Amino acid sequence: MTALAGGAAGGTASAGAGAPGTAGAAGQAPDARTAAFDAAVAAEERIEPRDWMPDAYRATLVRQMAQHAHSEIIGMQPEANWITRAPSLRRKAILMAKVQDEAGHGLYLYSAAETLGTGRDELLDKLHAGRQKYSSIFNYPTLTWADVGAIGWLVDGAAITNQVPLCRCSYGPYARAMVRICKEESFHQRQGFELLMALSKGTPEQHAMAQDAVDRWWWPSLMMFGPPDDESAHSAQSMAWKIKRFSNDELRRRFVDICVPQAEALGLTLPDPDLRWNPDKGENGGHEHGPIDWAEFQAVLKGNGPCNEQRIAQRRAAHEEGAWVRDAAAAYAAKHAAGEHGKAEAA
Amino acid sequence: MALGDDALVLSHRLGQWAGHAPVLEEEVALANIALDLLGQARVLLSLAGDEDELAFLREERAFRNVQLVEQPNGDFAHTIARQLYFSAYQLPLYRELAAGDGPFAPLAAKAAQEVDYHLDHARQWTLRLGDGTQESHARMQRACDALWRYTGELFRPVEGLGVDPSALEQGWLRSVGEVLERATLTLPDGPRSGGWAAGAGREGLHTESFGRMLAEMQHLHRSHPGASW
């Protein structure tokens, strides 16, 4: 992230009038650049890769986008765990397509992160070394087929609640990636819901399997929105920069309000005895939920969740065992390029 | 059903790569090919009966796929060699079927377009691995050699198919030979049929790893008899 940092913004006018980083910005005093940046953000203009931006804004975005990309890649594992055991060919095809989409989302997001002057290889190295994180949810194991449905319904549901506002994020490449990703994610979420519905309305064993999965995935899904607002280190600044649009707790509340009627439609219960409707909450009422086990959340974040080691080990192994393949492709490309060059000279 | 089993089993093997591929682009590509094959399998098996009953409730001896597609993934070179051999067979076969007026013609026309892409993918990687580094060259040669014995079976007659696969054999040898040569690899010279070659998958005689593959694939479906998913 150093190559472009520090204000060596290009001279092309990539954003609308008044955007920072256009022709004059590089020559402006730091205060003026910051003021122009702040004004563009306030005016809901998109910041584009060649625009000037504060170093901390760049660093925050790299951190968040890398973490997001890593989550897509690590997130393939718990679901891929069931590809070979899917109970019908239709479900197997849906699951394969979903895991393929996740790899695609990872690719978009790494590309978007690369516009900030970092490289995919560098980001992957940081993931493998444990220096960048991925969503804590993927450190939970998929123990039954119903977990695939619970991930679709709850985990993708929580991801969408988080990500839809990112479609209006102030950084253009991120916002555009999110538009594409959210479309596919909502499709996955509906498929997960439908999978759970089939189980819930199926045999007693299938129903029990669905309920057990929801019981295990509910609280980790609520943790996906991050720590409570008063303990969230990055929130205030991200909101000021319009990277984030709503607070963690606000998004979590919305998610709970969406899930409660959906659980009823599924004929499944949510594992929270304190969950209740409060007509006086907010403008139109809202749900109150029981306390979240933040100690568990912290433990998982610190690497002590059920699957942290396994997830990273598999990712690292795939990378290391694939090194000879990447080397071969690079060697072939180099030879081939030399050949093309030779031909061009001969001609 | 034989062709449906080929597609089903190879799709399953490719599905095992998810989360393990050497680059992200290959996660996408291998899953894509697996999905195409699964789609083909579903249409073909549905022509023969209920796709899920056929996939999940038959035992090993009732599967009619060639032994080539059930071979374990091995390293990336093994997977690519398997893809090369199989898609170089599947493409002309589907083209023949598409040109005829049999029950498979409409499916074969669509599937041939998919397999054209699969073959291109396998060829591109064969070139890169064969003509890449010393290590990749050695691995690719090893993979081509190891799977060679399973290729004779591809050209055995298939009951009710309407196309004679043995007519495709010379073309297959030419097209595979050409790719291997461009990839600086040697065409293997071991047996492809006869006593020391493998292959009787079409008669339901499979290799040992296949039973374990089916055990994993079928266990959940079999654990809940009559359930719908």
A124-168 residue pLDDT tens = 999 999 999 999 999 999 999 999 999 999 999 999 999 999 999
Give the pLDDT of residue A24: 44
pLDDT of residue A342: 53
**Angle, to 10 degrees, between the axis of helix A204-223 and the axis of helix A248-266?**
170
- B227 vs A: CB within 8 A: yes
For chain A, the average pLDDT equals 89
Q: How near does any CA of chain B get to the CA of A193, in Å?
A: 13
Instruction: Give B142-196 pLDDT, tens digit per residue.
Output: 999 999 999 999 999 888 888 899 999 999 999 999 999 999 999 999 888 877 7
Q: What is the pLDDT of residues B111-125, one digit of tens each?
A: 999 999 999 999 999
- Please check whether residue A188 is in contact with residue A98, taking contact to mean a CB–CB distance below 8 angstroms: yes
When scoring A74, A320, A332, A335 by the number of chain B Cβ atoms within 10 A, the one with the most, hence best to mutate, is A332
Phi, psi of A167 (to 5 degrees): -65, -20
> Quick one: average pLDDT of A326-342?
85
Kindly state the percentage of chain A with pLDDT values over 90.
82
Contact B148/B155 with Cβ under 8 angstroms? no
pLDDT digits (tens, 9 = 90+) for A61-77: 999 999 999 999 999 99
Predicted pLDDT at A234: 80
Query: Is the Cβ pair B18, A206 closer than 8 Å?
Result: no
Q: Which of A164, A170, A166, A163 is nearest to A48 (CA)?
A: A170
- Smallest CA–CA distance, residue A282 to chain B, in Å, is 40
Q: Is pLDDT at B219 greater than 70 in this prediction? A: yes
Q: Per-residue pLDDT for B209 more than 60? A: yes
pLDDT value of position A321: 97
Residue A277, judged by CB atoms within 10 A of its CB (0-12, 13-18, 19+), counts as exposed
pLDDT at A15 over 90: no
Query: What band does B199 get if pLDDT is binned at 50, 70 and 90?
Result: confident
Cα angle A245, A70, A311 (rounded to 5 degrees) comes to 130
CB atoms B19 and A110 under 8 Å: no
Interface of B with A in 13-72 (CB under 8 A): 15-16, 18-28, 31-32, 34-35, 38-39, 41-42, 45, 51-52, 55-56
pLDDT digits (tens, 9 = 90+) for A276-302: 999 988 788 999 999 999 999 999 999
Provide the shortest C-alpha distance from residue B147 to chain A (in Å): 19
* Partner A contacted by B211 (CB < 8 A): no
Quote the pLDDT of residue A7. 33
State which H helix or E strand residue B87 sits in.
helix B76-99
Q: Do B52 and A89 touch (CB under 8 A)?
A: yes
Q: Nearest Cβ partner of B35 from A84, A97, A322? A: A97
B134 touches chain A (CB under 8 A): no
Mean pLDDT of all residues in A196-207: 98
Band (A1; pLDDT cuts 50, 70, 90): very low
Quick: pLDDT tens for A157-189. 999 999 999 999 999 999 999 999 999 999 999
CB of A132 within 8 A of CB of A64? no
In this predicted model, what pLDDT tens digit does every residue of A45-64 receive, in sequence order?
999 999 999 999 999 999 99
Chain A contact present for B156, CB below 8 A? no
A3-12, B18-27, B37-46, B157-166: lowest mean pLDDT where? A3-12
Flag if B18 and A110 touch (Cβ within 8 Å).
no
Distance separating alpha carbons of residues B140 and A313, to the nearest angstrom? 26
Using the beta-carbon criterion (under 8 Å), do A106 and B131 form an inter-chain contact?
Answer: no
Name the residue among A296, A308, A319 with its Cα closest to residue A220.
A296
Residue of B136, B137, B213, B214 for testing the chain A interface, max A β-carbons within 10 Å: B136
Identify the residue whose tokens are 């940046």: A37
DSSP string covering A233-253: SSHHHHHHTTS--S-HHHHHH
Closest CA to B3 of B63, B62, B58, B75: B63
Q: Which residues of A touch B76 (CB under 8 A)?
A: 322, 325
Which of A4, A237, A241, A19 is CA-nearest to residue A116? A4
Question: Cβ–Cβ of A107/B32 closer than 8 Å?
Answer: no
Task: Render the burial of B188-206: b for 16+ CB within 10 Å, e for the rest.
Answer: beeebeeeeebbebbeeeb
Determine contact, residues B189/B177, Cβ cutoff 8 Å: no
> What element of type H or E holds B25?
helix B24-48
Kindly provide the ipTM of the predicted complex, given to two decimals. 0.96
Chain B contact set for A83 (CB, 8 A): 15-16, 18
- Please give the single-letter amino acid code of residue B70: E
pLDDT of residue A21: 42
Contact B136 A324 (CB under 8 A): yes
**pLDDT band, very low/low/confident/very high, at A340 (cuts 50, 70, 90):** low
Q: What distances in angstroms separate CA A242 from CA A47, A114, A172, B212, B217, one per listed residue?
A: 11, 20, 11, 53, 47
Question: What does DSSP say about strands A276-278 and A286-288: parallel, antiparallel, or unpaired?
Answer: antiparallel
> Mind telling me how many Å the CA of A198 is from chain B's nearest CA?
6
Q: Is the pLDDT of residue B79 over 80?
A: yes
Q: Which residue of A has its CA nearest to B38?
A: A93
CB-based burial of residue A251 (10 Å sphere; 0-12 exposed, 13-18 middle, 19+ buried)? buried
| Chain B environment of A318 (Cβ under 8 Å) | 19-22
CA distance A304 to chain B (A): 22
A314: chain B residues, CB-CB within 8 Å: 19-20
Residue of B40, B75, B125, B128 to mutate for A, most A C-beta atoms under 10 A: B128
Please tell me which residue of chain A has the smallest CA distance to B220. Answer: A87
Q: Which of B20, B22, B224 sits opposite A326 (nearest CB)?
A: B22
pLDDT of residue A338: 72
Which has the higher per-residue pLDDT, B226 or A343?
B226
A196, A149 in Cβ contact below 8 A?
yes
Q: In which band, very low, low, confident or very high, does the pLDDT at A4 lie, cut at 50, 70 and 90?
A: very low
